Amino acid sequence: MTENEIMLSLGQFAKGAKKAETKDTKLAVMYTRVSSKEQSENLSLDVQSQAIRNYAERNGYSILESYGGTYESAKNEERVEFQKMMEYVRRNKKSISAILLYSMDRFSRSGANAIYLSDQLRKQGTQIIAVTQPTNTYEPSGELHQNIMLVFSHFDNQQRRAKTIAGMAEKVRRGYWVSIAPKGYKYCGTKEKKLVHSEVAPLIKRAFEMKARGGFTNVEISHKLKLLGLNIKHKSLSKIFCNVTYIGYLSHALLDGEIIKGKHEPIIDEELFFQVNKLKRVIKKRIKETEANEFVPLKNFIQCPKCKIKRLTGYEVSRRRGNWYYKCSTKGCKINVNVNQMHNTFYELLKSFTIKPSSVPEVKKKLRDMMMSFYTEQLNDEQRLIKELNKHKKKIDVLDERFAYGEIEKDLYKKVASKEKKAIAAVEKELLMLKPNSIPNMDQGINEALALAQSIHTLWLDGDVYQKRRLQKVIFPKGLVFRQQDKSLEPIEVEKTLFAINNLNQ
Ligand SMILES: [Zn+2]
């Protein structure tokens, strides 16, 4: 595929792509971020900011503010820094023409949200520039490329998260609590982070005792605890009363409904717990709630066509199982759609976004060609630098030889050799900064994106209610509108990369 052909095939993305106004002065902010692994692998904050400053100088940007400088482990700090920057850019949207980053994955690892943000920025005329991955977001093709880069970062992040979650699940299975310590407990400072009783543990016990004795409402118990120095809202109390952590067990979403013995000391005994809960009833009620959700995965996801604001919820109409409907809760709306009908319509909609296995090789080639064309420039730079590197190395070889044959003095040899060595170091550093860290993952990223694009409809059908909800939210971030006239579903927005892949498929 020639460059012209690529541009031609990308022409279809031009529709609706607004060209941002070019700003008179080129002012920018810079954002850096690093993972601990990268810090030790020479992709330090210094290397990043140096690369950004070099780019700014070459391309006539003046850097007004620097943000970030955080480590990936400091999630909260990173979020705060990122928001600070976005706030600054929003406030100064008339003057800031670019956010400069080392690479696109610095911008945000949240995929869909990053695409949304970059879209918003683009509309106000602020470009996101990854200095090691040249793209021009004013061009539709650049936009597509950028979206793909962001999605790849997202996939990468998902994989990491899957690993973290697996690690957490394993820890819970060994009996350790992993999230915020429940009221009455705190973490003790050991490596395993075991839960121990906190100062308010006796008050938690007191709350259980009051509840078991009867005659107190949760509001009254909450009030009483406040007088004793413990602030708990009455709504939180009802959660506390059925939390098995207090009798020395663990229940966690990662355990898939299982309850296991924890490594921590109970605050109350089981008898008191059962007395408070009359356990059977509680468990039964919970199971019913989950079942309800399973039957209506699209609950609160589809906009009501009449009142526009409300989302459709799910109701079981008949006493016999299986008669579920999506309805609007507004009086007089009378929207009432059988779940089977709605789910079929949704399934067909998903299917329309699926690419056929037979067209996968072609789409894959187009995607790959497109990505590669963006890297060509960078690869050329790399080749130029390697040539330069070899030139210096050769000079040193010649120098060594001449010195060995006594053709030059030691002082001169030392002087020239150190000059050459410095030059080599400089070129090597430049090469290192040039190395695009996304290329090795490119095929993997493309494969994953395409695998998803081939199987969304079956993934949705086969998934449990949580997987269904997660998937539908990714594909249609803003939900759907139900069209009453033809009983169809219309997406408010489609996940951009999927949309792009679909366009490549045409
Ligand atoms: Zn309605």
Q: Examine residue 196 and state whether it is found in any structural domain, yes or no.
A: yes
358, with CB counted inside 10 A (0-12, 13-18, 19+), is exposed
Residue 292 CA to ligand 1 center (angstroms) comes to 21
Residue 341 CA to ligand 1 center (angstroms) comes to 18
Q: Strands, DSSP E only, in 50-95? A: 62-71
Residue written as token pair 């996968």: 360
Residue written as token pair 């709630």: 289
Residue 309 CA to ligand 1 center (angstroms) comes to 7
Q: Examine residue 180 and state whether it is found in any structural domain, yes or no.
A: no
Residues 6+ apart with CB under 8 A from 203: 184, 225, 228, 229, 230
The residues of the chain scoring below 70 in pLDDT are 1-25, 35-43, 71-76, 105-116, 133-166, 190-192, 256-257, 279-292, 318-322, 370-379, 432-442, 444-445, 496-497, 500, 503-506
Residue 107 shares a structural domain with residue 192: no
Nearest to 503 by CA among 464, 432, 430, 453: 453
The alpha carbon of 113 is separated from its chain's Cα centroid by a whole number of angstroms, namely 7
Backbone phi and psi for residue 203, each to the nearest 5 degrees, phi listed first? -70, -35
Rounded CA separation 394/420 (Å): 10
Residue 159 CA to ligand 1 center (angstroms) comes to 39
Domain boundary among 245, 277, 309: 277
Residue 139 shares a structural domain with residue 190: no
Instruction: Provide the token pair at 194.
Output: 């075991």
178, with CB counted inside 10 A (0-12, 13-18, 19+), is middle
Residue 27 shares a structural domain with residue 114: yes
Rounded CA separation 506/368 (Å): 16
Instruction: Provide the token pair at 89.
Output: 């850019």
Residue 97 shares a structural domain with residue 38: yes
Q: Examine residue 458 and state whether it is found in any structural domain, yes or no.
A: no
Residue 462 CA to ligand 1 center (angstroms) comes to 30
What is the β-pairing status of strands 127-130 and 249-251?
unpaired
Residue 137 shares a structural domain with residue 27: yes
What is the β-pairing status of strands 302-303 and 313-316?
unpaired
Rounded CA separation 173/255 (Å): 7
Domain boundary among 235, 255, 277: 277
Residue 291 CA to ligand 1 center (angstroms) comes to 25
CB 40 within 8 A of CB 62: no
Residue 146 shares a structural domain with residue 98: yes
pLDDT, tens only, 249-267: 888 777 766 777 888 999 9
Domain boundary among 146, 161, 176: 161
Instruction: Provide the token pair at 152.
Output: 């790849």
Q: What is the pLDDT of residue 36?
A: 60
Rounded CA separation 342/450 (Å): 27
Q: Examine residue 141 and state whether it is found in any structural domain, yes or no.
A: yes
Give the DSSP letter string of 220-242.
HHHHHHHHTT----HHHHHHHHT
Backbone phi and psi for residue 126, each to the nearest 5 degrees, phi listed first? -105, 125
Q: Examine residue 326 and state whether it is found in any structural domain, yes or no.
A: no
What is the β-pairing status of strands 62-71 and 249-251?
unpaired
The CATH number given to whatever domain includes residue 221 is 3.90.1750.20
Residue 343 CA to ligand 1 center (angstroms) comes to 19
> What domain range includes position 237?
185-277
- The length of the chain is 506
Q: Examine residue 293 and state whether it is found in any structural domain, yes or no.
A: no
Rounded CA separation 91/82 (Å): 14
The CATH number given to whatever domain includes residue 88 is 3.40.50.1390
Residue 48 CA to ligand 1 center (angstroms) comes to 52
Residues 6+ apart with CB under 8 A from 269: 247
The alpha carbon of 470 is separated from its chain's Cα centroid by a whole number of angstroms, namely 12
Residue 307 CA to ligand 1 center (angstroms) comes to 4
Q: Examine residue 167 and state whether it is found in any structural domain, yes or no.
A: no
Residue 330 CA to ligand 1 center (angstroms) comes to 5
Instruction: Provide the token pair at 290.
Output: 């989950």
Residue 154 shares a structural domain with residue 199: no
The alpha carbon of 504 is separated from its chain's Cα centroid by a whole number of angstroms, namely 24
Q: Examine residue 323 and state whether it is found in any structural domain, yes or no.
A: no
3-state secondary structure 356-372: CHHHHHHHHHHHHHHHH
Residue 304 CA to ligand 1 center (angstroms) comes to 5
Residue 263 shares a structural domain with residue 390: no
Residue 200 shares a structural domain with residue 132: no
Count of structural domains, the chain: 3
